[in-house]
């Protein structure tokens, strides 16, 4: 990075203040949904039903299979507790130190915007994680095998009813997208392991449902579309900009017209017998929480 770019980096004190503000906002969001245990459990049953309708894999069956290897689940607990925040902070530090200021600001805006929207959903829909649905057979692996994210001081920070969307998955996906799009090394593709491992860990430890990860993916896609990009191109063309990094293009590649920046197929002049395709030359918790049995409907009770 040259001296000019270094001089345009955001101030370090300001960046730290922004991160502290984000942490405080998260704490306030946790307080906003405190005491909604019954609603969070009820929402969990609704999510479980939606997943069955979508024919998603059964999280409890997967966890039961892995219970044969307690060391694997203990390693997953360590990953869940220790990787989430450090990797994200390291990502921001890398961006501040090594990437152009515009790219760093873009990444920082993405994280703040994604977290803000996630907090709105957390508040609007408190959701108990699968480990609280003990009547379905889920095991709280952190309480059984350790370590736990909800012991001691950590319990005052963690939001146990903020399962949807999964910020663990959302931040991991965001880090992968930004690194792949902005880094130049061919080793950047190794970052894909981060969201893959994160998604696997949050499910097998019964901290999240598959749907939590899916909503995080959709929310990140939305945030990418509305967040101004570092090169000034309208956010509506973000998908084209992202796919350009991997050299992927549609089967019928679009070409830029000579008369402007609009992207589209070249059209033949009036009166020409050449088709459009020919003209362009295209080739193809430790906290003890036991979920009650599922509430029975009036029809089930004979009322």
Cα–Cα dist 18/12, whole Å? 10
Q: Look up the pTM and report it.
A: 0.74
Phi and psi for 119 in degrees, rounded to 5?
-65, -35
Cα–Cα dist 273/279, whole Å? 10
User: Residue 14 is encoded by which pair of tokens?
Assistant: 């300001």
Buried b (16+ CB within 10 A) or exposed e, 72-94: ebbebbebbbebbeebbeebbeb
Count CB atoms within 10 A of the CB of residue 165. Answer: 26
SS3 state of residue 200? helix
| pLDDT string in tens for the chain (303-residue length) | 444 444 577 778 888 888 788 777 776 766 666 667 889 999 999 999 999 999 999 999 999 999 999 999 999 999 999 999 899 999 999 999 888 888 999 999 999 999 989 988 988 899 999 999 999 999 999 999 988 887 765 555 566 888 899 999 999 999 999 999 888 888 999 999 999 999 999 999 999 999 999 999 999 999 999 988 776 656 656 666 566 655 555 444 444 444 444 444 444 445 444 444 444 444 444 444 555 566 554 444 443
Determine the distance from the C-alpha atom of residue 265 to the mean position of all C-alpha atoms in its chain, rounded to a whole number. 35
Task: Please check whether residue 160 is in contact with residue 150, taking contact to mean a CB–CB distance below 8 angstroms.
Answer: yes
Cα–Cα dist 76/197, whole Å? 9
| ω into 165 cis (within 30 of 0) | yes
Task: Please check whether residue 80 is in contact with residue 207, taking contact to mean a CB–CB distance below 8 angstroms.
Answer: yes
């Amino acid at each position: 990075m040259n001296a000019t770019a270094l001089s345009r980096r955001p101030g370090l004190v300001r960046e730290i203040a922004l991160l502290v503000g984000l942490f405080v906002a998260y704490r306030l969001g946790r307080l906003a949904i405190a005491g909604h245990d019954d609603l969070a459990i009820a929402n969990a049953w609704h999510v479980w039903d939606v997943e069955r309708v979508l024919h998603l894999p059964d999280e409890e069956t997967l966890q039961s299979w892995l219970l044969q290897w307690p060391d694997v689940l203990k390693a997953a607990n360590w990953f869940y507790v220790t990787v989430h925040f450090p990797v994200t902070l390291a990502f921001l530090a890398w961006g501040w130190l090594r990437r152009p200021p515009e790219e760093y600001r873009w990444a920082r805006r993405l994280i703040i915007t994604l977290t803000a929207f996630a907090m709105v959903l957390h508040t609007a829909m408190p959701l108990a994680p699968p480990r609280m649905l003990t009547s379905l057979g889920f095991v709280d692996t952190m309480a059984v095998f350790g370590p736990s994210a909800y012991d001691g001081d950590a319990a005052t920070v963690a939001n146990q009813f903020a399962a949807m969307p999964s910020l663990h998955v959302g931040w991991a996906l965001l880090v992968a997208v930004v690194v792949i799009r902005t880094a130049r090394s061919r080793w950047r593709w190794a970052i894909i392991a981060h969201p893959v491992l994160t998604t696997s860990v949050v499910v097998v430890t019964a901290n999240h449902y598959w749907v939590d990860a899916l909503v995080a993916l959709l929310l990140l896609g939305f945030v990418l579309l509305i967040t101004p990009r570092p090169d000034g191109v309208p956010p509506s063309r973000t998908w084209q900009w992202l796919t350009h990094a991997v050299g992927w293009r549609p089967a019928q590649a679009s070409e830029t017209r000579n008369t402007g920046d609009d992207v589209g197929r070249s059209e033949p002049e009036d009166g020409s017998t050449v088709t459009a395709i020919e003209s362009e030359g295209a080739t193809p918790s430790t906290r003890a929480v036991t979920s009650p049995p599922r509430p029975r409907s009036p029809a089930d009770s004979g009322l």
